[in-house]
Structure 1
Amino acid sequence: MTGNTRKLADKIHEILPKESCDYFGTADASGIESELLYIGFWTDKGNADSDTLDFLSKLKNKKIFLFGTAGFGGSDAYFQRILGNVKSTIDSSNTIVGEYMCQGKMPQSVRERYVKMKENPEHPDNIDALIENFDKALSHPDSDDLERLKNIII
């Protein structure tokens, strides 16, 4: 939706040997033939987006490297909770061989919603923190995020 996960996918595609790549693109049944799958997702309400969850539910006996982005990037604990939610939907015949998450920018409409919420006298106590997080996320995934991913992949 915002291109964040695509940046991570492009980095993985750049790093891995092209001759070993059976498929590169959005979730598609053609990817199911591969033994090892690098599957990216964007975070929706603390889990992978529905298209990715649907794709993951069809996989059996695969090696899977999960990677994703989330607009709220405050802590590794949050990322681990998301990854845990995603992994809980994956069939036990599969093996998770790696995982990576980082912060990603959000659509401008999110910030506009936060600002509108702040105008309400009964706004959430953490509204300023949400706006600050939004602004911080605008540069992500950044070069440090991509370098960390690269170090995990190689």
Structure 2
Amino acid sequence: MRCVVLYSSKGGNTRMVADALADALSTDVDKVTPVEVVPGHEGDAVSSVAEADAVLAGFWTDKGDCAPEMAQVLSQLEGKRVFLFGTAGFGGEAAYFERIVANVKTHLPESAVLIGSAMCQGKMGMAVRRRYEAALAEHPGDARMQAMIDNFDAALSHPSAEDLAGIVDAAKDALDL
């Protein structure tokens, strides 16, 4: 089996998951190739999957969906078996991750076969926390904003080893390995 691990990573979280997948699959498949989806070079990513038996496509969450460059690549995976994996700054609720995956899978062509998916939380940049702190300073006692700060702090330890193992296991199950 030949697999390509495509990924789009803004802060490094999705790259970390992609690396863990490529490493774990390298002992179970004939060939596994990690390929970063770079804005402006989406065609290179699409070309890399021509001979792949399966595509593991990783994304960072951008407003409840994947980034536009990943959406463009996903839309060109005609006839491919696809496993979606992603990272999101907010986590802890399976329903939230399911909504994101539902949005992302709409980019796949009808001929693509979604064989599985998995997501985990990922840390966010400090600029995000500063925005939350500024909003809380403007509205002291805002429970929603305090919850955002608490989530930010909880996300700092993600993706964790447990997150990586969970996504690797889900991918192996989807690939029947």
Paired residue secondary structure (2:49):
helix
Give the counterpart of 2:100 among 70, 73, 82. Answer: 82
In 2, the alpha carbon distance for the partners of 1:59 and 1:153 equals 18
Of all paired residues, the percent bearing the same amino acid is 40
Which residue does the alignment assign to 1:24?
34
In structure 2, what residue type is equivalent to 1:49?
A
Is 2:135 aligned against 1:101? no
Is 2:77 aligned against 1:66? no
In structure 2, what residue type is equivalent to 1:86?
V
Q: Deviations over 1:61-107 (max 9, x none)?
A: 00001000000003000000000000112111000111110000001
Question: What is the number of residues matched between the two proteins?
Answer: 153
Shift of 1:57: 1.1
TM value normalised by structure 1: 0.93
Shift of 1:122: 7.7
Gaps of 5+ in 2: 1-9, 38-44, 173-177
Q: Deviations over 1:103-129 (max 9, x none)?
A: 000011000000001111388540000
In 2, the alpha carbon distance for the partners of 1:76 and 1:59 equals 26
Gaps of 5+ in 1: none
Q: CA RMSD in A?
A: 1.6
After the TM superposition, which of the residue ranges 29-38 and 119-128 deviates more from structure 2?
119-128
Moved over 4 A (4+): 122-125
In structure 2, what residue type is equivalent to 1:20?
K
In 2, the alpha carbon distance for the partners of 1:32 and 1:149 equals 21
